[in-house]
Structure 1
Amino acid sequence: MRDRRARHLMGAAAGVAAIVPVYYLTEAAARALRTATAAFGPAPAGLGYLAAVALLVTLLTAWPAAALGCGVPLAAAGVLFALDLDAAVGVAATLPWARTGGLPWSPPDGVPWAELGEPPGTLAGTSGLYALIGAVLVLSAVLPARLRSILDR
């Protein structure tokens, strides 16, 4: 019993830790896709960011506690963006790296990816990506065990 509880706690902690990369990678993908659309060109960076998000989400779905730990906050962020955009942008403006305009992995002399009036998460939040990813994670955790990923066995 104690081992099971510890496994759930570790899963929830892993899910909460995954919020930051999923949040910022999703936003980076949305911005790269928007930039490519505006330039009427390809978006290999957007595809790469989306692939990284898909990989993380796939790994999280293998562990229901981790999927809930990441999915519930992302779904809540998506709902906040859908219901009250001003409040969501205000919350996003308080997140780490919001004022510097760079991603955690960006070089210090790199081009800023965020506009001053558009904090990180705004584009992915308004487009519904956080709500979608959060819903997928939550649903993957509440599905019966036989319908979940084969990685959980």
Structure 2
Amino acid sequence: MRHLLGAVAGLAALAPVYYLTEAGARALRAGTVAAGPSPVGLGCLLAVAAIVAMLTAWPPAALACGLPLAAAGTLFALDSTGAIAAAATLPYAGGLPWTRPGAAPWAEPAEPPGTIAGLTGLYALIGVVLVLSALLPRGRRSILGP
């Protein structure tokens, strides 16, 4: 039962990690284009880091969230056109899906959700870190673990 709850928690964390990583990457890109700081990008990526740190303490959750992210990162690395086409089917409302009250999520054909984070390798990096944390011996997993 504990492993099933961990898998459900990992799958529940997948959407926030996916969209927060993309929002952070977009904000960092906007900051780079404007030649200025990007506190929103830093905040989004810090939120992702906090979620990942919590997931590493529970191996089933880390695997359930890390495997799809690693697969998405691998798809972006091997076939970026196919990955962008797959990302175009995901809901997205010009920002994080939960930040625009009353807005119905839709797919953005110009730059689908996950494009920036996928092409820069962020999904692959986060996914591999989560999977490796689940495979490490118990004493080396996380500072949050028992």
Q: TM-score, normalising length from structure 1? A: 0.88
Determine whether 1:21 maps to 2:16: yes
Q: Equivalences for 1:124-143 in 2 at 5 Å? A: 124-143=117-136
Equivalent residue number for residue 84 of structure 2: 89
- Measured in 1, the distance between the counterparts of 2:124 and 2:68 equals 9
Equivalent residue number for residue 58 of structure 1: 53
Q: Using a 3 Å threshold, how does the CA distance of structure 1 residues 23 and 86 change in structure 2: closer, same or farther? A: same
- Measured in 1, the distance between the counterparts of 2:70 and 2:129 equals 9
SS for the counterpart of 2:144 is helix
In the alignment, structure 1 segments of 5+ residues that lack a partner are: 1-5
In the alignment, structure 2 segments of 5+ residues that lack a partner are: none
Q: Using a 3 Å threshold, how does the CA distance of structure 1 residues 145 and 103 change in structure 2: closer, same or farther? A: same
Q: What is the aligned-residue RMSD (CA, Å)?
A: 1.7
Structure whose alpha-carbon radius of gyration is higher = 1
Offset at residue 149 of structure 1 (A): 1.6
Q: Number of residue pairs matched? A: 143
- Measured in 1, the distance between the counterparts of 2:100 and 2:142 equals 36
Q: Which of 102, 110, 116 in structure 1 is aligned with 2:95? A: 102
- Given that 2:23 and 2:95 are in contact with CA atoms closer than 8 Å, whether structure 1 keeps it comes out as no
Offset at residue 109 of structure 1 (A): 8.7
- Measured in 2, the distance between the counterparts of 1:64 and 1:31 equals 30
Q: Equivalences for 1:35-46 in 2 at 5 Å? A: 35-46=30-41
Q: Which of 133, 142, 145 in structure 2 is aligned with 1:149? A: 142
Determine whether 1:67 maps to 2:62: yes
Equivalent residue number for residue 4 of structure 2: 9
**Identity of paired residues, percent?**
67
SS for the counterpart of 2:98 is coil
Determine whether 1:79 maps to 2:60: no
Q: TM-score, normalising length from structure 2? A: 0.92
Runs of 4+ in 1 over 4 A off after TM superposition: none
Determine whether 1:32 maps to 2:24: no
- Measured in 2, the distance between the counterparts of 1:36 and 1:65 equals 36
